Amino acid sequence: MSMPGDSTVLRQTAAFLAEYASLLLGCGGTCIRIEKNTKRMAEAFGVNLDIFIMPDHVTVSVWNTAQTHAEIAQRRTAHCGISFDLNTRLSQLSWKIADNRLGLPAAVEHFEGIKTTKPTGKWEVLILTSFANAAFCRLFGGDWFAMLIVFISTLTGYRLKQIMLEDGRDVRLTFLCASFFSASISAGGHIFHIGSTPELALGTSVLYLIPGVPYINAVSDMIYRHYLCAFSRFFDAAVLTACLSAGLCAGMLMLGLKWF
């Protein structure tokens, strides 16, 4: 029977924890969550763990309890997109392993099942995002006409975003084009004098593109001294914000709207 200190078991454990950490990082997990989850599982496996998290990869060192032998595994960050469902399932797995003392084979089996989890349907996300953005418009004081304009502009812009990302287009270009498309449609409220708050329809039509999760994660990573990941996430989010702002300004400029 293999013991936690065996070289083969250490190697397999390191590979599993590195795969787990890379997937959790890719789906939007903060660095502190990754550290806590992986260390929780390492304790359940009876090994010691060191983890080094970078924006593009994760390095895991697994030691036997006597600190006489270690195995290292490195994995690139999984590019799976932000997913709260996947994030939750991975965190639940870490607690299941810790509470039930699952062995490595059982943990790997559960992990493989999580990796095959299907994302939320794109049509459901499209409709719900459009309703949510229209609700934002109402929250800021927009009338019902403005809400309808925002719903339509979000529906079309977000669908363009889905198509471009599925086609493998650069995410920055995607944000610029989606913002331009949504802004151009929502500007119809100004051009055709629809409703009493057309400026709110224009201003909130691109809110669905704001990269809120990267901004929040950047603050969390900075608080817990993961400065490289914090700055990487912050500047990635800032670049996307600049792209959507450029698309919004381009739409206003093309349709001849006054900025001030």
Helices 144-166 and 171-186: angle between axes, nearest 10 degrees:
150
Domain boundaries along the sequence of the chain: 7-115, 122-254
Q: How many angstroms separate the CA atoms of 60 and 230, rounded?
A: 20
Q: Compute how many other C-beta atoms are within 10 angstroms of the C-beta atom of residue 6.
A: 14
Contacts for 75 with CB less than 8 Å, ≥ 6 apart? 18, 19, 21, 22, 57, 58
3-state helix, strand, coil in the chain (%, to 5): 65, 10, 25
Q: Residue 66: helix, strand or coil by DSSP?
A: coil
**pLDDT tens-place values along the chain, 260 residues long:** 345 557 888 999 999 999 999 999 999 999 999 999 999 999 999 999 999 999 999 999 999 887 788 899 999 998 888 899 999 999 999 999 999 988 999 999 999 999 988 888 899 999 999 999 999 999 999 999 999 999 999 999 999 999 999 999 999 999 999 999 999 999 988 888 888 898 899 989 999 999 999 999 999 999 999 999 999 999 999 999 999 999 999 998 888 876 54
Claim: this prediction has a pTM higher than 0.85: yes
